[in-house]
Structure 1
Amino acid sequence: MDIVYPVGPGDRPWLRHSLRSLVNLPHDRVYVVGELPDWVNPDTATHLPTKQFSHKWQSSQHNLLTAANHPEVSDDFVLMNDDFFVTRPIAEVPTLYRGDLAMVIAEVTRLVGDSEWVRGMRESLRILTSLGIERPRCYAMHVPMVLNKTQLAATIRRNTELRSPGVAATDTRTMYGNLNAIGGSLATDPKSHKWRPAVDTELPFMSSAPSTWGGPFTARIRAAFPQKCAYER
């Protein structure tokens, strides 16, 4: 199964260690969709260049649609973000969700207030409930996720058709998981945030944020993956 990284512009030092962490996940080819940092080895990581939009969620959806429409990407692939790390060997990527969507929105709103992420998730909730899904699950986990190309393309088209004017984007992972009834296991999101820099998780994954890239979290990741990998020049 291939691995797809949607990558936006700018310096992304965490991507280097995310690629190194793939030693813990059996996989076939690696695709970098969007921007390609100059230190990534183009002989081992296939670059699919795309147009980048002013809004990162729109760029991300366009990057995913590019992967879904590419004939050489495996029919099922693992979606990785550039700040995801596989912290120990696993045989396959589990399907995980972080709880009832309405409850997750309420929790995040209490922590950070109203935000573009919250508005996008509210739009996801509105669309999903309008389609008859009474209690949608939140799949906005900062962990790898297995996607099917055909189902992904259909999900993104549905997002575009049903999204309200003025809403930049819905959450593709949440829309995909609910529209395709993928099920999964309940888990706590392992992302390190500025309000929760220390991550205590039993999952084989961790995730950083720009605000937490530095200090103890980064030292732990760098110590875990000190050696250059095949995807670096």
Structure 2
Amino acid sequence: MDQLDLVVPVREQPTNQQLRYALRSWQACLPHRRVWIVGYKPAWVGGVGHIPTQQTGTKYANTTAAVRAACEHPDVSEVFLYANDDMFVMEPIDEMPVLHRGPVREVEARYAARASDAYLRGMQETRDLLLALGYADPLCYELHVPLPVSKNGMLLALGTGSHLSVLHKRTAYGVLNEIGGERINDVKVMHRQPRFDRSTPFLSTMPDSFANGEVGRVIRSRFPSPSDYEYRGR
């Protein structure tokens, strides 16, 4: 299979150390053809494709606009890896597998224990949309790992859910295109403590857990050398 491009929506912030180490991890461990930064490109980033976008909406609207821009760009590979700047691949893999989080109803039950917020409402609205379209028990693809997506398939998902204020893009894409995949637990580490699953080849962090937690120390020690995506001295 030809190597896929990596598409990464990036919000406006000048340093973004998570992105720096994500790029290092992808170069070392995740086969890909080209990296595309969509949105804001920090000054230290080089050797990537850049698709500027306006970021004047919510973070959900901004990432939707970024994904659409990537799908509509002629130079981005027809199938690409959709990643975020806080996703790290810790061990070399031959290609990115398709992964999901289990049924939406199970994931929603865990989130419902927290205070209601836009993310949970988006999960519920996306679930209801998929149920109305005949998907009786849709899977959740809202994992903090890269997801292989096709341009046409993602544009279908974005169009189908365009009326939702917070569309869960990964889930809509995965269910509408019936991509299946393997179930895993989410790999996001939200705390500073040393207890987290180190057996998975994938990790993701919050800004605080990356900067001040054990998971951030592990990631930084694993990838100490600059990647080809960094201008030296920045």
Measured against the shorter chain, the TM-score band is: over 0.9
Q: Partners of 2:213 and 2:196 in 1: how far apart?
A: 13
Q: Partners of 2:194 and 2:64 in 1: how far apart?
A: 28
Q: Partners of 1:4 and 1:46 in 2: how far apart?
A: 9
2:103 equivalent to 1:106: no
Q: Partners of 1:46 and 1:194 in 2: how far apart?
A: 33
* Map of 1:123 onto structure 2: 125
Q: Partners of 2:179 and 2:29 in 1: how far apart?
A: 24
Q: Partners of 1:170 and 1:154 in 2: how far apart?
A: 13
Is the CA contact 2:192–2:214 (under 8 Å) kept in the aligned structure 1? no
Deviations 1:189-218 (A, max 9, x none): 111024987321533110001232222111
From the superposition, tell whether residues 130 and 201 of structure 1 become closer, same or farther in structure 2 (CA, over 3 Å). farther
* Map of 2:20 onto structure 1: 16
From the superposition, tell whether residues 159 and 195 of structure 1 become closer, same or farther in structure 2 (CA, over 3 Å). farther
Classify the secondary structure of the residue corresponding to 2:50: strand
Counterpart among 134, 146, 149 of residue 148 in structure 2: 146
* Map of 1:181 onto structure 2: 178
Is the CA contact 2:194–2:213 (under 8 Å) kept in the aligned structure 1? no
* Map of 2:66 onto structure 1: 63
* Structure 1 unmatched ranges of 5 or more: none
Deviation at 1:135, TM superposition (A): 0.2
From the superposition, tell whether residues 117 and 198 of structure 1 become closer, same or farther in structure 2 (CA, over 3 Å). farther
Is the CA contact 1:137–1:178 (under 8 Å) kept in the aligned structure 2? yes
Is the CA contact 2:71–2:152 (under 8 Å) kept in the aligned structure 1? yes
Classify the secondary structure of the residue corresponding to 1:212: helix
* Map of 1:216 onto structure 2: 214
* Map of 2:32 onto structure 1: 27
Is the CA contact 2:30–2:89 (under 8 Å) kept in the aligned structure 1? yes
Deviations 1:117-166 (A, max 9, x none): 111101111101011110011100000110001111111111114x2xxx
* Map of 1:198 onto structure 2: 195
Q: Partners of 1:61 and 1:46 in 2: how far apart?
A: 18
Which amino acid in the other structure matches residue 131 of structure 1?
L
Deviation at 1:106, TM superposition (A): 0.8
Is the CA contact 2:6–2:34 (under 8 Å) kept in the aligned structure 1? yes
Is the CA contact 2:193–2:214 (under 8 Å) kept in the aligned structure 1? no
TM-score (norm 2): 0.92
Q: Partners of 1:195 and 1:113 in 2: how far apart?
A: 22
Classify the secondary structure of the residue corresponding to 1:211: helix
Deviation at 1:85, TM superposition (A): 0.3
Deviation at 1:30, TM superposition (A): 0.7
Number of aligned residue pairs? 225
Is the CA contact 1:197–1:212 (under 8 Å) kept in the aligned structure 2? no
